[in-house]
């Protein structure tokens, strides 16, 4: 079965620490579907 997101790049913006909590799961799922994921975080998301 072909990966539905193969060859696609997804930019995932994270703006707060609560949102950052779920980012690893989201990135894992997207990469499992074949996507290249780029995460961009604000300063608040890193705390």
Confidence of residue 2 (pLDDT cuts 50, 70, 90): confident
Q: What is the pLDDT of residue 44?
A: 85
Compute the distance between CA of residue 13 and CA of residue 39 in angstroms, rounded to an integer. 6
Q: Regarding beta strands 9-14 and 36-41, do their DSSP bridges make them parallel or antiparallel, or are they unpaired?
A: parallel
Q: What is the pLDDT of residue 46?
A: 80
Q: What is the pLDDT of residue 1?
A: 64
Global confidence as pTM: 0.82
DSSP secondary structure code for residue 45 in this structure = G
**Per-residue pLDDT tens digits for 3-46:** 999 999 999 999 887 778 899 999 999 999 999 999 999 988 88
């Amino acid at each position: 079965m072909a990966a539905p997101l193969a060859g696609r790049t997804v930019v995932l913006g994270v703006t707060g620490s609560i949102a950052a909590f779920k980012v690893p799961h989201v990135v894992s799922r997207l990469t499992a579907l074949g996507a290249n994921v780029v995460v961009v975080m604000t300063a608040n998301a890193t705390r």
